[in-house]
Chain A
Amino acid sequence: MNTSYQYSYTNIEELLEILVEKGFIAPATEQQHATVIGRRQVQSSDLAFVTVAPEAARHLILDLRDRFGFTHLVLLTAVDYIEEGKFLLTYLLHNYELHHDIGVQVPIGREAAEAGASMESIHDLWAQAGTYQRELKEMFGIDFPGSPRVDEPFILEGWDEVPPMRREFDTKQYSETTYFPRPGRSTNDPADYMRQKLYPKE
């Protein structure tokens, strides 16, 4: 039981029930009717994922941090569902008292790379969130307005292609067009090469 926070709960199911009461997710009985938003998935006794709308995400994350004790931002990343035209942002939060994790998942529109997807920033809640958001901007093209140095390159330098972690970016094609064929290189079929070397007269 965590006592030092406003909402006390003992297990993940109880936590999810409180989130249902607060209107963040759909009740268990209505899960099959819930669209993507409001869905929950209990992976194990200490890990659950809930999906909320982008407008509600910051409110829920702040609540989880300050009222439920999820004080540790484990990671922030995105999964690209190109076939559904959306990114699923995942904010994984950890509660150090009960050792529970909750993944807050937020579907956001997957606009074209130039138009850019956008999401509210949480850099003021955790200092390292700014780094995650900078990487997401660079790798997925998701903008976080107001996040410090979000437009500065993080890993790539002078990159003007599609953000590389998007599914439409083809690494193989990129390397073939960018790096091959190099001048001065020739390719031999190993079998032909060896036959000519061993039996040059044939």
Chain B
Amino acid sequence: MTNAPIIPLTDNHQAGRRVDLSSGKYLKLWQGPQHPGITGNMSLELTVSGDEIVDLRTHVGYLHRGFEKLMERRTYIQNFPIVCRICVPEPDFNEYLYAATVEELAGIRVPERANWLRNLTLEMARLASFLQWIGGQTGAFGMGVIGQWGITHRDYVLDLFEELSGGRIYHMYIIPGGVRGELPEGFEERARAVLDKVENLLGDIERAMFHNAVFKDRAKGLGVIPREMIDSYGITGPNARAAGVARDVRKDQPYLLYDQLDFDVVTASGSDTYDRAWVRFQEIHQSLSLIRQMLTRMPKSGPIHTQLPNPLHWKIPAGQTYRRAECTRGEYGYYLVSDGSGYPRRVYVRGPSYTHAVALMESMAVGANIADVAGLMVSFHTYPPEIER
């Protein structure tokens, strides 16, 4: 018979129903939609007893722009400026995955140097996103100064993106068939200087954040995700790795050039807010190392784009596919269905926050303290736009 455990799910959804608000013992409290700890608008409806949370509901929809619907009305090339806007802090994963699904269905081969450049931008996006997350995580625990360090250093990475693509936030750099431009002259030296700067900062952050008694006190033991919840809630990325589950798409199903790069899957065992932060912190170090490896090993010349027919007349052969990549928050995926016409039949974007911010957050917040909710939510590293799409 089956060995897979059948896990009883916490019926948090019904818990709130039993709360009798007229009893005077409970209070409804809203956090958001302008939430300080996250990128994007999402609100949390808390039902509290004293300062303990008895029920939490996630409300999304403040950033719904109907991207998936819009994409059905636009040609494949017109969708490029749209996909990157689905995730603000790391748009490159959207660009890469959309390009990869289109290329797979159309049978387009990408030159090797373009793959290196794609991989480089994905790691730079990871670095920028993690530096921004440090801002959210420390800010949520009242340590805003550390957050400002992180945000400042993120800006140095954005400077590199600006040089490379012309855009700081949305790059639209990865396009079907390759990438949009060459590395500017002297980019490698400037990139290495930024990496050194970030590395110096990490030493300070380790001392000020991870060895800080306040942070330790508040983050240790907060929001412990039990191992059994990982599969039943579809938890991926650092949230799963902090629970000791060594899963990383970069290792498990290597895409681009990750199988040629040297890195290990970072795990921890505590599965609390502190361990999740520690896993992400180690992944920042790892990201620096990966970018350095790529800068060293990347071929210095070669084509960066395949010759393609006029993009206004593209017809992608009928079919369907799913591609995934490991973003900072976990598994990011694109499911593309083509009916053979010039417009996609359906594009579905699977963002990791979809489960982390809704089902997981609603379960984990019960029993927590009002003051810890913001820190808990940032420790799942959620971004609302990828929930609403």
Q: How many residues of B contact A (CB 8 A)?
A: 47
User: Quick check: A148 and B13 within 8 Å, CB to CB?
Assistant: yes
For residue B60, which residues in chain A have a CB less than 8 angstroms away from its CB? 154-155
Partner of B388, one of A79, A101, A155: A155
Partner of A126, one of B4, B104, B233, B350: B233
Answer whether A43 and B321 are a contact pair too, CB < 8 Å, given A79-B337, A128-B354, A171-B73.
yes
User: Quick check: B331 and A127 within 8 Å, CB to CB?
Assistant: no
User: Quick check: B68 and A128 within 8 Å, CB to CB?
Assistant: no
Instruction: Kindly report which residue of chain A lies nearest to residue B249, judged by CB atoms.
Output: A99
Which residues of chain A (71-126) have a CB below 8 Å from chain B?
71-75, 77, 79-80, 90, 92, 96, 99, 101, 103, 124, 126
Mask of B365-389 contacts with A, CB within 8 angstroms, 1/0: 0000000000000000000000010
User: Most chain-A Cβ atoms within 10 A of its Cβ — which of B4, B61, B231, B355?
Assistant: B4
For residue B331, which residues in chain A have a CB less than 8 angstroms away from its CB? 74
Which residues of chain B (317-333) have a CB below 8 Å from chain A?
319-322, 324, 331, 333
Which residues of chain B (35-49) have a CB below 8 Å from chain A?
none
For residue A167, which residues in chain B have a CB less than 8 angstroms away from its CB? 72
User: Quick check: A131 and B359 within 8 Å, CB to CB?
Assistant: yes
For residue A172, which residues in chain B have a CB less than 8 angstroms away from its CB? 73
Instruction: Kindly report which residue of chain B lies nearest to residue A131, judged by CB atoms.
Output: B358
How many A-B contacts are there with CB distance less than 8 Å?
109
User: CB of A49 within 8 A of chain B?
Assistant: yes
User: Quick check: A130 and B333 within 8 Å, CB to CB?
Assistant: no
User: CB of B310 within 8 A of chain A?
Assistant: no
User: CB of B180 within 8 A of chain A?
Assistant: no
User: Quick check: A148 and B2 within 8 Å, CB to CB?
Assistant: no
Answer whether A128 and B73 are a contact pair too, CB < 8 Å, given A46-B253, A92-B322, A103-B322.
no
Instruction: Kindly report which residue of chain B lies nearest to residue A69, judged by CB atoms.
Output: B4
For residue B322, which residues in chain A have a CB less than 8 angstroms away from its CB? 47, 74-75, 92, 101, 103
CB distance from B151 to the nearest CB of A (A): 29
Cα–Cα distance between A65 and B5 once the two chains are bound (Å): 10
User: Quick check: A47 and B61 within 8 Å, CB to CB?
Assistant: no
User: Quick check: B69 and A131 within 8 Å, CB to CB?
Assistant: no
CB distance from B338 to the nearest CB of A (A): 11
User: Most chain-A Cβ atoms within 10 A of its Cβ — which of B14, B234, B331?
Assistant: B234
Partner of A99, one of B70, B232, B252, B348: B252
Answer whether A72 and B231 are a contact pair too, CB < 8 Å, given A99-B253, A154-B61.
yes
Partner of A6, one of B2, B321, B355: B2
User: Quick check: A47 and B321 within 8 Å, CB to CB?
Assistant: yes
Cα–Cα distance between A130 and B234 once the two chains are bound (Å): 12
For residue B11, which residues in chain A have a CB less than 8 angstroms away from its CB? 148
Instruction: Kindly report which residue of chain A lies nearest to residue B10, judged by CB atoms.
Output: A127
Instruction: Kindly report which residue of chain B lies nearest to residue A167, judged by CB atoms.
Output: B72
Answer whether A74 and B337 are a contact pair too, CB < 8 Å, given A47-B322, A127-B359.
no
User: Quick check: A71 and B231 within 8 Å, CB to CB?
Assistant: yes
User: CB of A157 within 8 A of chain B?
Assistant: yes
For residue B9, which residues in chain A have a CB less than 8 angstroms away from its CB? 124, 127
CB distance from A7 to the nearest CB of B (A): 10
Per CB-CB distance, the 4 closest pairs between chain A and chain B, nearest first, are A128-B355, A66-B2, A155-B61, A148-B13
28 A–B pairs (Cβ distance < 8 Å), ordered by A:
A5-B3, A6-B2, A46-B253, A47-B321, A47-B322, A49-B320, A66-B2, A66-B6, A71-B231, A75-B322, A92-B322, A99-B252, A99-B253, A101-B322, A103-B320, A103-B322, A126-B232, A126-B233, A127-B9, A127-B232, A127-B360, A127-B363, A128-B355, A132-B354, A155-B60, A156-B64, A169-B69, A171-B73
